[in-house]
A and B are shown apart, each in its own frame.
Chain A
Amino acid sequence: MTLHPILAALKKHKAGVTLITLQIALTLAIVCNAVFIIGQRVDRINRPSGIDENNLFLVTQSWVGAPTGDDEGSIDKLDSMQQADVATLRNLPDVESAIAVNTLPLVNSTWSTGISLKPDQQRSTAQAALYFGTEQMVPTLGLKLVAGRNFTSAEIGHMGFRGHNKPPVIIVTKALGDKLFPKGDALGKTVYIDRNPTTIVGIVERMQVPSVNSWANSWFWNSVLIPTRLDAGFSRYAVRAKPGRLDAAMREAPKALYASNPMRVIETGAKFEDKSVHSFAEIRRYAYRADRGMAVLMGVICLILLCVTGAGIVGLTSFWVGQRRKQIGIRRALGATQVDILRYFQTENLMIAGVGVVLGAILAVGLNLWLMKQFQMDRMSITYVLVGVVVLLVLGQGAVFAPARRASKVSPVEATRSV
């Protein structure tokens, strides 16, 4: 079949053709970028935190009228209160282990600092988040030690919440170690935190920083374990329940803590923000709520867009079929088969959609470049555009099928009728 008659017919419908081409182009541009955003969010949501999240929960509490934590005596008092709480939690029948931590991955509350290779470096070599805890941190959180050793109990110190952080030894993530020492020989090296020297004694495979906000994106895997208990008027306890006993342990924990000391706050509201005992699954869901929301929103918009564009193609093609009944009749009378008519409309749609997707591909890349500039988004891989092109071509063919079939059913007799 030659394309000439199709082109000639399309010339008579310039406005309709332009509109549908424009629509296909816009749809492709928006859908590609929206799906790209969805893909990025899903990647973010699915990245592993590096800790064993099963059966883990976090208790955040604060003491009422606690010592200030500004002088030695009150720091010691806070420290013993914290250790008493850890002991209370460990003694629960459904609890396997419990530790005091300053924060956890995905919890968002972050203590970050620069790590330097020299004591008087102007600009630090790497930014990292600090996790304060004891030698129990590695086993309780299920961190995987890939080189070196864990802290020993002799290395564990304690300090006030605003004290000077001078750990003798630290454990770093592999990502941070490689950033500081690109040759991969970070173990045993000395680095500087706030101008104080410290030695890397262990390397863990992976541990995400607490913040999921964009400001932490560039140092997302840079975590440091500090062998120090932090003492403040509030505390966080990471508790690992015995397998299958998570719910029971989460119920018991606040009761046991209240029983040991009632002058404290453990919120028990229904919503995430209104309670202070959270399973790690809840923490993960909450941390990525905005990303999940964005992905859902983009998905809904894509779906609506594709439906609208499909509907537009159906509508316009139906109109053209209606207008050309007589011509179709003539062609049929002159010997064209039903398949020929079907092919005609499908080829016509392919041509319109073909121009549309070429325009759309250019628009999609342009839109991505603009989003990169405006919102620091990443560059979209060309695969998204290619898949989008295929999807829209298939959508066009699918949408045109019903009206085209109706056209192919037009009887040759129509040629003899005047209207």
Chain B
Amino acid sequence: MFAYYLDLALRSLKRMKALTGLLILTIGFGVPASMTTWSVFGGVAGDPIPWKSSKLYVPQIDAWGPTVQKNNPDPEKGPPDALTYGDAVGLMRDHRGKLQSAMYMLSPSVVPAKVGEHPFNTMGHAVFSEFFPMVDVPFKYGSGWSAADDESRAQVAVISSKVNRRVFGGGDSVGKTINIDGHDYRVVGVMGEWNPQPRFYDVVNTGGFLSQDEGVLLPFNTTIAADMSNDGNTNCSEAPKETGFVGLQRSSCIWIEYMVQLDSAADAQRFKDYLEGFARQRYPGWAPNVRLRGLMAWLDHEHVVPPDTRISLYVALGLLLVCLVNTAGLLLAKFLRRSSEIGVRRALGASRREIYTQFLIEAGMVGLAGGALGLLLTWLGIVGVGWVLPRDIADLARLDVSLFATTLAVAIVATMLAGLYPTMRAAAVQPAWQLKSN
């Protein structure tokens, strides 16, 4: 029977060419427009580390006190979104999480070994050894450094594949020496391709999305000792009393990000309690104001998803809705035009259910044809989105099998949904009335 209905549907589609064309165009444009924005949105709002995000937390401590908080436009009056150097170092020293790392963003220059080549800039972070297992940095060669290296301020570096290619021409460069900002470091690891979006461990400085990948990772204590100053945001409630990078470290300015891995809710609660005690001790002048947000809650708090992306998504969903309404109207026209045909089928013994099946299959066929056109347009959309949206965001929209499959599925399901009411009307046709009027 299915094959017969397919045949009927094909015949009907061929018979009413103009109407069918309009239907296919409606689906063919509406679905890809929504799918393209959806894929961008999914890329932006997605979980960057789904297998672990529930165990990663970001602590916040109010280092500024209630007088500054009075001017805080945030109604919740939460603590600032970064830590002072003193707080970060204190938390690292106490070492209460399973894994943890304070970090700050760097934008060092790298001097190629080859004579005659100009130095180049890269971006990176100063981190602690536990950063690598905590965020699951993939390694092509070597590994991260050890806790002992942290302690001894070892001159070691982990570099990206890209920096490895540019400085050493690729290959296993573990053990080689790299010149970063005029200092020599021993390469201990070369990362595999790694460019998590959003850059979840430091959304404050990166804004979440970066087209540039992490070029170098250096030990925190080493870069502090080398006076390698921070790039990105520095937020001060008052000007530092002393000048220079050392002045910044002794100030109440916030510029350090922190992430901690806690394996269970009980661990998280314990850490939260500890954090309060820590704040009470550090800032006896006011009641502790601390937060411990899980990674996804943190990304949400930091508004990592740009409002534009969200607006586009809503508008695209609106477009899909209009297309559905339009499809429903056109299918209604298409089906009811064939009232006499339905009358004949019913008179010859077809049940309501069979009419239902026939017309839903026909709606599905329209959806399939529209979806096929939609695939082509989604592809164009993904290519075009790079031209329309900033590259750092547009890069997130990827052409892959799952997007194609979703487009096709959405087209078919949406058309069948839109076809439900017209089908109901078609099935309700009274055979006697139709036969009489003929």
Point out residues on A near B: beta carbons under 8 Å: 15-16, 19-20, 22-23, 26-27, 29-30, 33-34, 37, 62, 64-65, 68-71, 122-123, 160, 162-165, 194, 214, 233, 258, 262-267, 271, 273, 276, 289-290, 292-294, 296-298, 300-301, 304-305, 307-309, 311-312, 314-316, 318-320, 322-323, 371, 375-376, 418-419
Given contacts A265-B121, A308-B322, contact A30 B211 (CB under 8 A): no
A122 touches B71 (CB 8 A): yes
B119 on interface, CB distance cutoff 8 Å = yes
Q: Specify which chain A residues have a CB less than 8 angstroms from the CB of B316 in the assembled complex.
A: 301
Q: Specify which chain A residues have a CB less than 8 angstroms from the CB of B281 in the assembled complex.
A: none
Distance (whole angstroms) from the CB of A105 to the closest CB of chain B: 19
Q: Give A262 to B119 CA distance when docked, in angstroms.
A: 9
Given contacts A23-B325, A316-B333, A318-B333, contact A266 B118 (CB under 8 A): yes
A71 touches B323 (CB 8 A): no
Q: Give A276 to B121 CA distance when docked, in angstroms.
A: 10
24 A-B pairs (CB sep. < 8 Å)? A15-B332, A19-B326, A19-B329, A19-B332, A30-B315, A30-B318, A30-B319, A65-B182, A70-B244, A70-B245, A70-B246, A163-B243, A265-B119, A266-B118, A290-B393, A293-B390, A297-B312, A304-B29, A305-B322, A312-B22, A312-B26, A314-B22, A318-B19, A319-B333
Q: Specify which chain A residues have a CB less than 8 angstroms from the CB of B181 in the assembled complex.
A: 64-65
Q: Considering residues B29, B321, B334, B387, which has the most beta carbons from chain A within 10 angstroms of its beta carbon? A: B29
Given contacts A65-B181, A294-B312, contact A322 B337 (CB under 8 A): yes
Given contacts A23-B329, A30-B318, A162-B243, contact A15 B308 (CB under 8 A): no
- Which listed residue, A19, A64, A376, A418, touches B182 by the CB 8 Å rule? A64
B119 touches A26 (CB 8 A): no
A289 touches B390 (CB 8 A): yes
Q: Give A160 to B240 CA distance when docked, in angstroms.
A: 13
Q: Give A15 to B418 CA distance when docked, in angstroms.
A: 13
A315 touches B333 (CB 8 A): yes
A316 touches B329 (CB 8 A): yes
B311 on interface, CB distance cutoff 8 Å = yes
B29 touches A309 (CB 8 A): no
Q: Produce 1/0 per residue, B361-395, CB < 8 A to A.
A: 00000000000000000000000000111110100
A64 touches B109 (CB 8 A): yes
B91 on interface, CB distance cutoff 8 Å = no
B194 on interface, CB distance cutoff 8 Å = no
Distance (whole angstroms) from the CB of A179 to the closest CB of chain B: 18
B119 touches A162 (CB 8 A): no
Chain A residue at minimal CB-CB distance from B121: A265
Q: Specify which chain B residues have a CB less than 8 angstroms from the CB of A289 in the assembled complex.
A: 389-390
B319 touches A301 (CB 8 A): yes
Q: Specify which chain A residues have a CB less than 8 angstroms from the CB of B30 in the assembled complex.
A: 304, 308
B345 on interface, CB distance cutoff 8 Å = no
- Which listed residue, A70, A164, A214, A371, touches B311 by the CB 8 Å rule? A371
Distance (whole angstroms) from the CB of A142 to the closest CB of chain B: 29
A311 touches B26 (CB 8 A): yes
Q: Specify which chain B residues have a CB less than 8 angstroms from the CB of A69 in the assembled complex.
A: 244
B90 on interface, CB distance cutoff 8 Å = no
Q: Specify which chain A residues have a CB less than 8 angstroms from the CB of B322 in the assembled complex.
A: 23, 26-27, 30, 305, 308-309
With A30-B319, A307-B25, A311-B326 already in contact, 10 other A-B pairs whose C-beta atoms are closer than 8 Å = A16-B329, A19-B329, A70-B244, A165-B239, A294-B312, A300-B33, A308-B30, A318-B18, A371-B311, A419-B438
Top-8 shortest CB links A-B: A65-B182, A70-B244, A319-B333, A19-B329, A312-B326, A293-B388, A293-B389, A315-B330
Distance (whole angstroms) from the CB of A141 to the closest CB of chain B: 26
Question: For chain B, which range describes its interface: under 10, 10 to 19, 20 to 34, or 35 or more residues?
Answer: 35 or more
Given contacts A68-B227, A123-B71, contact A194 B389 (CB under 8 A): no
Q: Produce 1/0 per residue, B325-347, CB < 8 A to A.
A: 11011101110110000000000
Q: Considering residues A69, A162, A258, which has the most beta carbons from chain B within 10 angstroms of its beta carbon? A: A162
Q: Produce 1/0 per residue, B290-310, CB < 8 A to A.
A: 000000000000000011101
Residues of B139-176 whose CB lies within 8 A of A = none
B319 touches A162 (CB 8 A): no
A/B pair count, beta carbons within 8 Å:
174
Q: Give A419 to B438 CA distance when docked, in angstroms.
A: 7
A162 touches B245 (CB 8 A): yes
Q: Give A372 to B199 CA distance when docked, in angstroms.
A: 29
Chain A residue at minimal CB-CB distance from B238: A194
B246 touches A273 (CB 8 A): no
Q: Give A316 to B327 CA distance when docked, in angstroms.
A: 11
B111 on interface, CB distance cutoff 8 Å = yes
Chain A residue at minimal CB-CB distance from B241: A164
Distance (whole angstroms) from the CB of B205 to the closest CB of chain A: 13
Residues of B395-433 whose CB lies within 8 A of A = 421, 425
Distance (whole angstroms) from the CB of B147 to the closest CB of chain A: 28
Q: Specify which chain A residues have a CB less than 8 angstroms from the CB of B25 in the assembled complex.
A: 307-308, 311
B120 touches A265 (CB 8 A): yes
B247 on interface, CB distance cutoff 8 Å = yes
B256 on interface, CB distance cutoff 8 Å = no
B248 on interface, CB distance cutoff 8 Å = yes
A315 touches B329 (CB 8 A): yes
Q: Considering residues B18, B181, B315, B391, which has the most beta carbons from chain A within 10 angstroms of its beta carbon? A: B315
Q: Specify which chain A residues have a CB less than 8 angstroms from the CB of B119 in the assembled complex.
A: 64, 263-265
Given contacts A15-B425, A23-B325, A265-B118, contact A375 B311 (CB under 8 A): yes
Chain A residue at minimal CB-CB distance from B316: A301
B390 touches A304 (CB 8 A): no
Q: Give A349 to B153 CA distance when docked, in angstroms.
A: 79
Distance (whole angstroms) from the CB of A214 to the closest CB of chain B: 8
Q: Give A45 to B308 CA distance when docked, in angstroms.
A: 15
Q: Considering residues A276, A300, A371, which has the most beta carbons from chain B within 10 angstroms of its beta carbon? A: A300
B29 touches A307 (CB 8 A): yes
Q: Specify which chain A residues have a CB less than 8 angstroms from the CB of B334 in the assembled complex.
A: 319
Given contacts A294-B312, A307-B29, A318-B18, contact A20 B329 (CB under 8 A): yes
Q: Specify which chain B residues have a CB less than 8 angstroms from the CB of A300 in the assembled complex.
A: 33
Distance (whole angstroms) from the CB of B91 to the closest CB of chain A: 24
B264 on interface, CB distance cutoff 8 Å = no
Q: Give A65 to B306 CA distance when docked, in angstroms.
A: 37
Distance (whole angstroms) from the CB of B416 to the closest CB of chain A: 16
Chain B residue at minimal CB-CB distance from A15: B332
Q: Specify which chain B residues have a CB less than 8 angstroms from the CB of A23 in the assembled complex.
A: 322, 325-326, 329
B329 touches A34 (CB 8 A): no
- Which listed residue, A29, A293, A298, A309, touches B326 by the CB 8 Å rule? A309
